[in-house]
């Protein structure tokens, strides 16, 4: 995969249309978490320093092609100005006269933010005329929103066909990390897939089996595999109708030389409650009302030795109900081990997924991982081996 980056662009005096992800958490018109704003800073700074004009394009929420005042991007301006230490001019529309006037007033190094793209139906429809109307305000296009790259929208895909297209700094970092984890990883490469359901991660598991040397399966989805192998799972969460699918995955892994690591012991309790009595059991040894809520210590120890024996780790999905301690123990121990190896330069450790990111923060180790993707759906589709239209459009 090759794509042009900002290093390939001549930016001085140019209007750069920069697609960012500013779909930030907001409460009462206030930004409550500025992680996504921070993620855009390297690209904005780089263009400004090179003497370019930054025209930011973003969506917020789901206005479905209509102007919904409560879904304006205006509340983002203040926090962004603070982070940048520079003014940000806001345009009340992303196309037409409002946008044209604001962009025409920009001097080299200035920054503008245009109103919510999704106020126009043409955005999600990837309408060619809408893409042209956006392109009227730019000399080049920079996509810095990996998290929106699984959608073929006008600002994530269409624009790349109208203007010279470049990957922004965050996009480049994400693509490099994903390439190091799954595209061209250093071997042996180990995967960890957990979470609640097998059903939502079938394609992902199949793709990982094709690419990895070893794959550990944990979380609620492991119960379905244990059930398929004939173990009693008592009151555990389990997709029993997927037992045959689980068996076919076991075969698929054997055919493709991917060693599957299923749980060898379990942590059980009757209820998911904080501080609940957690018992370590052998497989299948549960009372009628008990549920499997975490990986057992032997399972975790085998996983951490597999990490020691690997050069690369790709992780999606917690090993247990980490939101409710003590059922966070397995996930936290494994996360700490991976983070320590990554920090010591012994393991490329890449993780992603909404709950996975939360679990790594809960364990206090997110910063020690090589890369943690907050891209959600785009990250999962990429793990499934799908072509992301927003990334494909950037390829030279």
The site for ligand ADP (CB under 6 A) is made up of 194-196, 219-220, 237, 292-293, 316-318, 320-321, 323, 353-356
Q: Which does 292 bind (CB under 5 to 8 A by kind): ligand ADP, Mg ion, none?
A: ligand ADP
- Looking at residue 141, the DSSP 8-state letter turns out to be E
Q: What ranges in 198-328 are assigned the alpha helix state H?
A: 202-211, 219-228, 243-255, 297-308
**Active-site hit among 4, 74, 173, 197:** 197
Compute the least distance from the CB of residue 170 to Mg ion, in Å. Answer: 22
Compute the least distance from the CB of residue 318 to Mg ion, in Å. Answer: 9
Q: Which does 196 bind (CB under 5 to 8 A by kind): ligand ADP, Mg ion, none?
A: ligand ADP
Using CB atoms within 10 A of its CB, is residue 392 exposed (0-12), middle (13-18) or buried (19+)? middle
Compute the least distance from the CB of residue 269 to ligand ADP, in Å. Answer: 10
Q: Is 284 left (phi over 0), alpha (psi -120 to 50) or beta?
A: left
**Any idea which residue has 């394009």 for tokens?**
57
Q: Which one, 166 or 315, has the nearer CB to ligand ADP?
A: 315
Q: Which does 158 bind (CB under 5 to 8 A by kind): Mg ion, ligand ADP, none?
A: none
Compute the least distance from the CB of residue 356 to Mg ion, in Å. Answer: 8
Q: Is 214 a catalytic residue?
A: no
Q: Which does 318 bind (CB under 5 to 8 A by kind): Mg ion, ligand ADP, none?
A: ligand ADP
Compute the least distance from the CB of residue 331 to ligand ADP, in Å. Answer: 8
- Looking at residue 319, the DSSP 8-state letter turns out to be S
Compute the least distance from the CB of residue 355 to Mg ion, in Å. Answer: 4
Overall residue count recorded for the chain in this entry: 396
Gap between the Cα atoms of 273 and 315, Å rounded: 26
Contact criterion met (CB below 8 Å) for 104 and 98: no
Compute the least distance from the CB of residue 251 to Mg ion, in Å. Answer: 28
**Active-site hit among 15, 19, 36, 201:** 36
**Any idea which residue has 């209820």 for tokens?**
271
Q: Which residues of this chain interact with Mg ion, rule CB under 5 A? A: 354-355
Using CB atoms within 10 A of its CB, is residue 134 exposed (0-12), middle (13-18) or buried (19+)? buried
Contact criterion met (CB below 8 Å) for 138 and 163: yes
Q: Which does 390 bind (CB under 5 to 8 A by kind): ligand ADP, Mg ion, none?
A: none
In sequence order, the β-bridge partners of residue 294 are 267
Q: Which does 323 bind (CB under 5 to 8 A by kind): ligand ADP, Mg ion, none?
A: ligand ADP
Gap between the Cα atoms of 77 and 119, Å rounded: 18
Q: Which does 293 bind (CB under 5 to 8 A by kind): ligand ADP, Mg ion, none?
A: ligand ADP
Q: In degrees, to the nearest 5, what angle opens at C-alpha 68 toward C-alphas 66 and 71?
A: 120
Q: Which one, 139 or 355, has the nearer CB to ligand ADP?
A: 355
Q: Is 377 a catalytic residue?
A: yes
What Cα–Cα distance (Å) separates residue 230 from each residue in 240, 243, 247, 283, 305?
Answer: 11, 10, 11, 10, 27
Gap between the Cα atoms of 332 and 283, Å rounded: 21
Q: Return the beta strands (E) in 224-342 as ranges.
A: 259-261, 265-269, 279-282, 291-295, 312-316
Q: Which one, 21 or 139, has the nearer CB to ligand ADP?
A: 21
Q: Which one, 163 or 360, has the nearer CB to Mg ion?
A: 360
Q: Which one, 237 or 252, has the nearer CB to ligand ADP?
A: 237
Q: Which one, 114 or 268, has the nearer CB to ligand ADP?
A: 268
Q: Which does 317 bind (CB under 5 to 8 A by kind): Mg ion, ligand ADP, none?
A: ligand ADP
Q: Which one, 40 or 321, has the nearer CB to ligand ADP?
A: 321
**Active-site hit among 276, 354, 376, 385:** 354
**Roughly how many angstroms between the first and final C-alpha of the chain, as a whole number?**
9
Residue closest to ligand ADP, measured at CB:
195
Compute the least distance from the CB of residue 335 to ligand ADP, in Å. Answer: 12
**Active-site hit among 65, 276, 284, 377:** 377
Q: Which one, 16 or 267, has the nearer CB to ligand ADP?
A: 267
Per-residue tokens: 227 = 């059930």
- Looking at residue 5, the DSSP 8-state letter turns out to be B
Gap between the Cα atoms of 380 and 204, Å rounded: 7
Gap between the Cα atoms of 337 and 192, Å rounded: 13
Residues identified as active-site: 36, 197, 354, 377
């Amino acid at each position: 995969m090759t794509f042009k980056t900002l290093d390939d662009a001549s930016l001085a005096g140019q209007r750069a249309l920069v697609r960012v992800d500013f779909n930030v958490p907001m409460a009462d018109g206030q930004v409550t978490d500025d992680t996504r704003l921070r993620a855009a800073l390297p690209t904005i700074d780089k263009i400004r320093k090179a003497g370019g004009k930054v025209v930011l394009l973003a969506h917020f929420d789901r206005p479905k092609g209509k102007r919904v005042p409560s879904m304006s991007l205006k509340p983002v301006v203040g926090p962004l100005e603070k982070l940048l230490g520079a003014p940000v001019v806001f345009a009340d529309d992303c196309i037409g006269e409002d946008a044209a006037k604001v962009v025409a007033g920009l001097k080299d190094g200035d920054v503008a933010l245009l109103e919510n793209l999704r106020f126009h139906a043409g955005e999600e429809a990837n309408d060619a005329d809408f893409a042209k109307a956006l392109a009227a305000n730019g000399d080049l296009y920079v996509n810095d929103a990996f998290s929106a790259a699984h959608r073929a929208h006008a600002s994530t895909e269409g624009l790349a066909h109208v203007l010279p297209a470049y990957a922004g700094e965050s996009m480049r970092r994400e693509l490099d990390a994903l390439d190091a984890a799954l595209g061209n990883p250093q071997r042996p490469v180990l995967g960890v897939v957990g979470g609640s359901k097998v059903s939502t991660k079938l394609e992902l598991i199949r793709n990982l089996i094709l690419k990895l040397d070893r794959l550990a399966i944990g979380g609620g989805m492991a119960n379905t595999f244990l059930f398929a192998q004939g173990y009693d799972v008592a009151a555990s969460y389990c997709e029993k109708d997927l037992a045959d699918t689980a068996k076919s995955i076991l075969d698929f892994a054997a055919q493709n030389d991917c060693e599957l690591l299923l749980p060898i012991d379990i942590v059980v309790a009757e209820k998911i409650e904080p501080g609940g009595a957690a018992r370590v059991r052998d497989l299948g040894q549960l009372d009628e009302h008990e549920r499997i809520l975490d990986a057992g210590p032997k399972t975790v120890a085998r996983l951490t030795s597999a990490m020691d024996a690997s050069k690369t780790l790709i992780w999606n999905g917690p090993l247990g109900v980490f939101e409710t301690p003590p059922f966070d123990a397995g996930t936290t121990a494994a996360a700490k081990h991976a983070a320590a190896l990554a920090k010591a330069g012994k393991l490329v450790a890449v993780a992603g997924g909404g709950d996975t990111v939360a679990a790594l923060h809960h364990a206090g180790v997110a910063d020690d991982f090589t890369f943690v993707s907050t891209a959600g759906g785009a990250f999962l589709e990429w793990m499934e081996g799908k072509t992301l239209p927003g990334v494909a459009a950037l390829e030279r």
